[in-house]
């Protein structure tokens, strides 16, 4: 699938250098997450999980996360995550077995990072794909 490149976009959580529309759970509203190829984990705040009523599978594994917001402890969960393509630009990419680190009181945006999501996805960023905007391409790895 493909979507317009969301760069330097303002969200409720602040300015995101690169954003991606995604859906938590199998259905429901979309959310703009920070796409961060340098982030070790995909990170979701507990508040967002609860607000979306997302079902998670708690693996009971705790991880310490170092970020620009300081150190946080989160729990590794299994989650259904979908990267959303624009209409007419291919298919959404469903990741029913994605993993994320859920952090209580996470002060930042949802982060789509390497562990749990991007390690299972091919991602391409083309800033000159469309006049005036770029494109974000994604598909399954392999």
Query: Comparing C-alpha atoms, which of 121, 97, 96, 110 is closest to residue 43?
Result: 110
On whether the CB atoms of residues 110 and 48 are closer than 8 A, the answer is: yes
Q: What is the pLDDT of residues 98-107, one digit of tens each?
A: 999 999 988 8
Instruction: Quickly state the pLDDT bin for 127 (edges 50, 70, 90).
Output: confident
Q: What is the pLDDT of residues 22-59, one digit of tens each?
A: 999 877 788 899 999 989 999 999 998 888 888 888 88
What are the backbone angles phi and psi of residue 46, rounded to the nearest 5°? Answer: -55, -40
Average pLDDT over all residues of the chain: 88
């Amino acid at each position: 699938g493909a979507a317009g490149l969301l760069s330097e976009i303002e969200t409720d959580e602040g300015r995101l250098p690169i954003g991606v529309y995604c859906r938590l759970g199998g259905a429901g509203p979309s959310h703009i997450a920070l796409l961060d190829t340098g982030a070790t984990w995909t990170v979701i705040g507990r508040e967002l999980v609860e607000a979306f009523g997302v079902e998670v599978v708690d693996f009971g594994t705790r991880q310490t996360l170092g970020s620009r917001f300081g150190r946080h402890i989160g729990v590794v969960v299994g989650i259904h995550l979908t990267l959303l393509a624009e209409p007419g630009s291919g298919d959404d990419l469903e990741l029913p077995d994605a993993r994320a680190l859920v952090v209580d009181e996470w002060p930042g945006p949802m982060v789509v990072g390497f562990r749990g999501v991007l390690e299972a996805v091919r991602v391409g960023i083309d800033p000159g794909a469309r006049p005036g905007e770029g494109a974000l391409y994604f598909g399954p790895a392999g």
